[in-house]
Structure 1
Amino acid sequence: MSKPFVPLAEIHRGPCLESLHQGVVAVADASGALLLRRGDPDFVTFPRSSLKPFQAIALVESGAIDALGLTEAHIALACASHRAEGFQAAMVRDWLARLDLPETALVCGPDLPRGEADLGAVLLAGGGRSRVFHNCSGKHCGFLTLARRIGAPAAGYDDPAHPAQRLFLEAFSELVGRDAAALPRGTDGCGLPALALPVVDMARAAARFAAAAVASETRRAAIRRIQAAIRAHPDHLSGQDQPTSRIIRATEGRVLLKSGAEGFNLAFVPERGIGIAIKMADGGSRAKMAVLVAVLAELGLLARDAAPALIEAVEDPIRDSNGRSAGKLRITL
């Protein structure tokens, strides 16, 4: 049996290779054709938070966003793995207030802001862990909003059998091309069901999402609205001036993306109906953004001479404790 992973990136320190990051890359179009592959695209894994744009489809399609008077920024936050920056936490609190629900209605566990300044502000104010600060709280507010819209109970929205979860599975099934309810399932870090599927199937689902290749005009409109929300509010997806927003802005919104935990990365190219799925074998986040930039250059979605600068902008530099350069990242794609 061949190994599923191939080298994608190297870390060099001085004259020596120090670390090697391996993984899988699959690029597909909406017809399902595989346009580029590195490693075994049939490797089965969990996309984790890369599923969030798909999980938002029913939220928009059902009219739940508009019924609660929410905005495109809320759609972007429903797709986010946010850092609990001040504006994001404020949006989540306001969202819960509109639903007239307490923080405890969120299934995701209590957490702290990820940024030093935001964390310091919370601690200095005498605050502590909160479910609002969990990076998935926007997605959870989305499921609570959908449940309200369809008359389902707020409690139990983490159950795969809950009506809100079934609506997600129905929409995802159309995009992935098979019954998503039959996919292997685990539990995500935020407590919601996590699906597992081949990397190539995620690339194909992303391509169909990019092309809005679905049967219903209502669903097509919902997908396009989610794309527009991500394009207009890239800082909501992670944080202000983070790698995600830098790539979206560098491509002038032609490339949209949603990364996931354990080294997963997913990108959508609406103008070409292309989906890009990346899985880093070590489960780390280092290099996955750089690999995506290299794939974009390979596909002609980014000028090759612009790729090195963007890679430097989306990957933390390797420095010593005095801030001096101590190593470099090399993409081997």
Structure 2
Amino acid sequence: MSGARILTIARLELTQRLRSVGWYVLLGIFMVLLLGITALSFLVFSSNDLPGAGVFSIIVNFVLLLVVLVSPTLSGNAINGDRDAATLAPIQVTAATTGDIMLGKLLAAVATGCAFLLIAVPFLAVGVFGGGVTPGMFLVSLLVLLLEIIIVAAMGVGLSGLIARPLFSIAATYLVVAALVIGTLIAFGLGGAAVRTQVTHYERGWDESGEPVCDRWEEYTYEQPRYDYVWGFLAANPFVVMADATPTEFDADGYPRDMFGQIKYGVRMAQKAPGSERWDICDGGYDVQPSPEEQMRDTVPSWFVGLGIQLVIAGGLFAGGWSRTRTPARRLPPGTRIA
């Protein structure tokens, strides 16, 4: 493999994309959406003493959302699209190796994804100046976002080499991404609802005349989903990986300041098994609950597991596409165009 050849292939790929007017229209729409989302985010977090953290987290999540929506279209036909247009074979008979072609295509797909990140930089800066964004939060979130761009691009390029038809490879890339983004939520919700346990609620309240009743307890038993058995499904979700890996900033009461912390808190609380509840009007009402910051100390992070799962999937698909693109090819799907 050669770095110069990889850059040449990536430059050729980007040149083809930059010729399209639709690409600039897409970037323009993205900028307009970012402007509206930034303004709305400041309204949402206006009550916070440091609204910048919330605005920053929403913008980063929006960029990640656009990456998982658009990147499959940009990378899902990288190999078979050239094969279908009879432009892959001329490259394969040059000094460029299969690795040069695959990595060049991957680099071009990553660059197109990073273009959205570059457009978002001014809006991210607005969030930083709004206060509440620490250097660790800034660097980790952008690093995870870059990794997610690479992972989704690798999935698309790999499937474009494995599947002969561009339409099917793009659809397959969307299915893989949808399985990580939406499928993990469905598996979590259905899995937790399918497994239930009985929980007892103890109560000392008021009688019919409105007087407190402190001489006896009333018990109510009901079923509660066991999300603590299936919370691991969420580990591979890109948005959960982003939220769980990013350091959380808390306010004076121990509540997260941004969307990263809110998502992290919800996932971490799913790790805990449901327990009995007590309502005691004779002792001040419900038991005092610890703050989200205190509750998360007793849970474990999962972002590295989810990121590892995504890397294994992306690496496997990319390796499969590499093997299918290698020349001379022993076997090709029926109807595959050679030149």
Q: TM-score range by the shorter chain?
A: under 0.3
Bigger Rg, structure 1 or 2? 2
Larger RCO, structures 1/2 (Cα 8 Å, 6+ apart): 1
Task: State the TM-score, normalized to the length of structure 2.
Answer: 0.26
Q: Which has the higher helix share?
A: 2
Structure with greater strand percent:
1
